[in-house]
Chains A and B, each alone.
Chain A
């Protein structure tokens, strides 16, 4: 019996690395179609749908950022509502100073980024659950500090001044475009971010932090950068939230409910995928609309689904779908495979379930 082992002779030059299992042309066409459709939506759908879509976009923005933080960078936060609130109140602040609320959106994002920076030095002393609850303490503190400030309305609330003087429907359209714009920018930015060097760094940290550190990866810097980006994105969501609601109250903008929604939506949709939070939001809003009359039941049901999904299908619904059918609408991973023609690979993948291509640890 021979003892010598035979490493798989895939042969040099016969391996190649690709970014997706299918032509990106499909994704691009689909994406363009969806973008166009959603951009003209307010003019073709009933007004209530418009409102639902606005809330959908806001939650998608928040969830995508939360997922970036938790699913890709491994930091579970239940305090992102801090930045929802800070973003909203930054908008209020600048609006009171005379800036057009719509122009405050990037300002709000920047404000959150600046505030988040020193906070990371405190928070990064903790890991796991302690990090999570510490983020909550930060949110609670932010909420109280803003609430004490009567200039911004204190506990009772404040109206958002300086909204453009337009007819109600036109204004509504404008707000819609703002929320849609923010969501589009944030999701696209996340996609390109994860395809970049940073994305690779994050994958390596997620898989094995110690190896990553020892190979020179600046783990803490990468984490800090992600936290800042998430803060900025969530702040932008808070800004459009303020614009869409027009009346701000600390109890609303800093509500833990946001954390719950971001979290559930990402869990159900699938952590660590871009499509996951979006899918989760779709399910969430469908459920909410169907159970609109039942008070808090939609949250109970949604929460229960989230818990069940976490226990039995930890990769979320999109994750399970993706594993089964090897489809990625927004591919950010890497696939290593033998050189074969595209169609043959896809056919054999569907037939065998486990394809010849290994969804490697880089996914």
Chain B
């Protein structure tokens, strides 16, 4: 894979008195997909939001291309090259499809993605560009949300629960986009509750359990049982697939 774009070191985040993320470390390289799996409440969304700058961490660092961004406001991180597609799409409902993309493009970096390119990726968009965002279906909104983030030409794309609330066929289409994005050199950090989906598209997998790292490795290295155990917990030590020596 390419250069290391994002490096998270010993990140600890509290939600009030609850420790949502506990000492998590990982990295994301250019051109790869790192999938984070874990049950509900495992801390995945909090982790993403902290990386994006919406949450303050208690301990640990977030480094982007060697420079520490832990103290930067979210919009500054976007302008550097970290974009988050938040859970629940969060489109600007009263704005049109095109306007949503335009907002994303307002502070865009230079790169391969622009509004025309997004219209190429999603052929159904140009015809409906003047429709208001609230009028689109869940899957379409998800596509628009991804488009809005892409149009800023991020180097690291954070995707939070893409598949939530969408029909399987729609999910398929959305996930088919990921290789195209990665081919441009973007690093993707994907949070996914559906393990099969998440692991299926991943170069590397990272399992979270109650805020802590439970398992890491590549899909080839990890067996379904291992992932299952890491997902649900049980008495299992933190393992990296590399430690597993027969």
Binding site for B on A (CB under 8 A): 1-5
Contact = CB atoms under 8 A, between A and B. Distances in A.
A73 to B, nearest CB: 24
B105 interface: no
Contacts of B209: 3
B237 A5 contact: no
Given A3-B209, A3-B214, A3-B233, 4 more contacts: A1-B238, A2-B235, A3-B236, A4-B233
Contacts of B210: 3, 5
Contacts of B212: 1, 3
Contacts, number: 15
9 tightest Cβ-Cβ pairs between the two chains A and B: A1-B238, A3-B233, A1-B237, A3-B209, A3-B236, A5-B210, A2-B235, A4-B235, A3-B214
Nearest to A4: B235
Contacts of B233: 3-4
B237 to A, nearest CB: 6
Q: Which of A3, A4, A5 has the most CB of B within 10 A?
A: A3
Nearest to B214: A3
B234 interface: yes
A3 B209 CA distance: 8
Contacts of B214: 3
Interface string B175-214: 0000000000000000000000000000000000110101
Nearest to B236: A3
A2 B233 CA distance: 10
B227 to A, nearest CB: 15
Interface in B124-172: none
B199 to A, nearest CB: 20
A5 B235 CA distance: 11
Interface in B220-244: 233-238
B234 to A, nearest CB: 7
A5 B22 CA distance: 13
5 contacts: A1-B212, A1-B237, A2-B235, A3-B209, A3-B233
Contacts of B238: 1
Contacts of A5: 210
Nearest to A2: B235
Nearest to B237: A1
A4 B209 CA distance: 10
A4 B236 CA distance: 9
